[in-house]
Structure 1
Amino acid sequence: MRPRRALTLRGTGALLAGICCLIAANLIGAPILVYVGVLLIAVTLIALLVVRLPRRSGSVARQISTDLLTVSETSLVTVRFDLRALRAPHGLWRDVLPDAVSGDAAGEYPSENGLLRYPITGVRRGVWAIGPLMLRTVDPFGLAQREQAFGETRTITVVPEVFALAPLAVKVGASGGTAHTSSSRLGQGSDNLSPRRYVSGDSMRRIHWRATAHRGQLMVRQEEEESSPDALVILDRSSARWATQGEEADPAFEAAVSLCASVAVHLVQEGYGVDVVDSAGNALGTLRGHEDDREGLLVALAMVSPRGAARDVVTLVGGTPPGPLVYITGSLDEDAAEALRPAGAAAAMLFATELSEDAAQAAARRGWRVAALGADIAEAWAEASPEGIGVGDVPR
């Protein structure tokens, strides 16, 4: 943040004019110019002292109407500013905003109160800092100015936009979006009939409180099966699929992240349990219908960027094929499409931001329903959504 000069343009002009008058007075022998020059220089210096000498301090508290700001969403920022000085001056205030948000964060500082409000709109996802608050005061003659920073910055998270998507024509997968398949992994529960001791990784919701009270140690239920995800969304972050990252956001990658968030939220609304992972197998979020799950996923997606390499889809899926499987990638050629396997998913949907006809045909032969991802996310989803895929139509 570049600091403002101590003198305004008017003040700089007055100071230079005063110096020129003194020089001219010596050259042409005009005493009156000495008085004029001294007056201009003196007034400029007095104006500078008026705005620079008073000691000012203040406290700043910011409140944002939404915890998470979505791209293209508008939120209201309220700033409470308490200035302590010999005299609270009239001036101009501005809150320093990052390029990731837009808003008219400036105005005239009110002397009667320190409550400031302005709207902001999300422009680019990520975690950004708002602030500090800058107060600019100018002397009555407009010759000198002072801009001072008050308070700390406030972090704001801009999350990807979530679009409304068309519902699936049929419920796909063995669960049909209403039940869950079983899992016998240690720490996730198994299909036994008696309580067992708590193991690190067990869900706290499975604690058997009666057995815990009886034995004096944590016990978990084993007569109930722990559910495993029946829908999987994979965001391909591998560097080979995306343009080199610079200061500007890549529109293709931003569309992919937004589609990832939209699909995950949409599938959980349709009754599926949803896991979201990247192409390296790192978990980005798990949705089971809780609002905290949704916010956690959006925060994770707010900070993702292309990196690393992709693993095989079959490895990412594991032993139990999901119902819907959504794979979101960038530039996809024929060889890469041929290598993508849907891993026995009941409905495998592939989205690519750059997709040749040969690559689309290769992916279709593998069993994917393919769509090119452009600016219209809802249209791409409608194109790839299964219209007649059921349990008996699992692609091989």
Structure 2
Amino acid sequence: MSSRRPLTFRGVVALLAGLALAIAANMLAAPILLYVAVLLFALVSIAVIVVHVPRRGGGVTRRISTDLLTVGEESQVAVRFDLRALRVPYGTWEDALPDAVAGDASGDFPTDNGTHIRYSITGVRRGVWPVGPLSLRTIDPFGFAQRTQEFGDTRTVTVVPEVMPLAPMSGDVGAAGGTAHTASSRLGQGSDNLSPRLYVSGDSMRRIHWRATAHRGDLMVRQEEEEASPDAIVILDRSARRWEREGSAVDPAFEAAVAACASVALHLVQEGYSVDVRDSAGSVLGVLRGQEDDRDSLLVVLAMVHPQGEGREIVTLLDGTPPGPLVMITGRIDEEDATLMRHGGAGAPILLATDPQPGAFTAAAALGWSTGELDEDVSAAWEDALSGHVAPGGGHVPR
């Protein structure tokens, strides 16, 4: 797409100067002024022809050094610009960057490396953002005419929330490493190390336990153990009433909550837990079982979440089986809200809130919650919650 401004500021001044000289030549009967005016008109016309007439085409390919760009992390962008033109123009290039990504994506063209362009970007705000298209701006040697063309398509870059290091959990729940709170249910398919049961319609014939069948005289199949619930659950409260800004508007408190959700979930996985991450409406945001793909999938989902809708009671999100650690991350919460936050018998209920009102943490502590006031320093809020100290007014005891 070409620029709608074919002339530079200098070109506009030259055109107006030529027009003024032509008028003055007629008024003063000075042919020399008319000659100068014609010369200026000719130079501007030639500049426009030189810059705008040549046909140009080209392709752009981009490669970003990291698949997922973390907030605050720097990454390298390599751009290959294949320009098809009669001659290589001299000018400047610029790759369009969104406000959520910082970097100096501009320079002189042609570059020192020919058609290869490199620059650095830094993640500023989580989300999925377009990078590009690449713009090439050329100017004639006199500086009268300009031409800006865009080449190639855009490429998206995913900026994920920052994952911060957290202090390890202590006590029986943390020491269990996720093994003390495993619940199981007996199903008809699975491992071979459990007692057989009677065959029912629908069971796979491959699961028949022939020794038990011969012993009992009835068709028996191998029993399987299945995990009925995760060891740990992390809940991100997305209810619109908890946050100042609904939708895609940037809310620093919600950004801190998302960063805390990512940090806590991945920290619990490192401590040996299987983790389910859900929002307050019950939607599953991620399932972490120690795989790298699970981690990336969660971060991508968290890069796009926003406050919306209403939430449900916490106990309805637990599938009937209390987990070990249960981490609830929310925004504005008052004392009445806290009295209704029952954790369903979780082994280690932890409440992190960005805007606790007076008495809220005291009421939550009475129900067994460990609490921490959440801000940009997620690590400090986590340590406050692990300490389990709540001041009478609902705040924390200074450490």
TM-score computed with the length of structure 1 as normaliser: 0.87
Aligned-pair identity in percent equals: 61
Cα 1:343–1:210 change in 2 (3 A) is: closer
Please list, as runs of the form range in 1=range in 2, the aligned pairs for 1:63-78 lying within 5 A after superposition.
63-78=63-78
- C-alpha displacement at 1:229, in angstroms? 0.3
Cα 1:209–1:29 change in 2 (3 A) is: farther
Tell me the SS of whatever aligns to 1:271: coil
Does residue 124 of structure 1 match 2:131? Answer: no
* 1:316 paired residue number: 317
Q: Which amino acid aligns with 2:196?
A: L
Q: Which amino acid aligns with 2:277?
A: V
Please list, as runs of the form range in 1=range in 2, the aligned pairs for 1:378-389 lying within 5 A after superposition.
378-385=379-386
Give the Cα separation in 2 of the matches to 1:32 and 1:197.
Answer: 108
Tell me the SS of whatever aligns to 2:171: coil
Q: CA RMSD in A?
A: 2.8
Does residue 332 of structure 1 match 2:368? Answer: no
Number of aligned residue pairs: 373
Q: Is the 8 A contact 1:173 1:230 kept in 2?
A: no
Give the Cα separation in 2 of the matches to 1:246 and 1:226.
Answer: 36
TM-score computed with the length of structure 2 as normaliser: 0.87
Q: Which amino acid aligns with 1:47?
A: A
1:247-273 deviations in Å (ceiling 9; x for gaps): 752110000000000000000000000
Give the Cα separation in 1 of the matches to 2:178 and 2:75.
Answer: 34
Does residue 279 of structure 1 match 2:283? Answer: no
Q: Which amino acid aligns with 2:30?
A: A
Cα 1:23–1:251 change in 2 (3 A) is: same
* 2:358 paired residue number: 357
Please list, as runs of the form range in 1=range in 2, the aligned pairs for 1:1-396 lying within 5 A after superposition.
3=3, 5-110=5-110, 113-172=114-173, 176-178=177-179, 181-184=182-185, 193=196, 222-226=223-227, 228-245=229-246, 249-385=250-386
Give the Cα separation in 1 of the matches to 2:53 and 2:145.
Answer: 12
Tell me the SS of whatever aligns to 1:228: coil
Deviates more, 1:155-164 or 1:106-115: 106-115
- C-alpha displacement at 1:64, in angstroms? 0.2
Cα 1:104–1:174 change in 2 (3 A) is: closer
Q: Which amino acid aligns with 1:70?
A: T
Task: Report which of the two structures shows the higher radius of gyration computed on alpha carbons.
Answer: 2
Give the Cα separation in 1 of the matches to 2:359 and 2:207.
Answer: 61
Q: Is the 8 A contact 1:175 1:181 kept in 2?
A: no
Cα 1:26–1:247 change in 2 (3 A) is: farther
1:295-326 deviations in Å (ceiling 9; x for gaps): 00000000000000010001011211000000
Deviates more, 1:27-36 or 1:186-195: 186-195
Tell me the SS of whatever aligns to 1:234: strand
Gaps of 5+ in 1: 200-206, 212-219, 389-396
Gaps of 5+ in 2: 209-220, 390-399
Give the Cα separation in 2 of the matches to 1:197 and 1:17.
Answer: 96
Give the Cα separation in 2 of the matches to 1:365 and 1:106.
Answer: 58
Give the Cα separation in 1 of the matches to 2:121 and 2:252.
Answer: 21
- C-alpha displacement at 1:184, in angstroms? 3.2
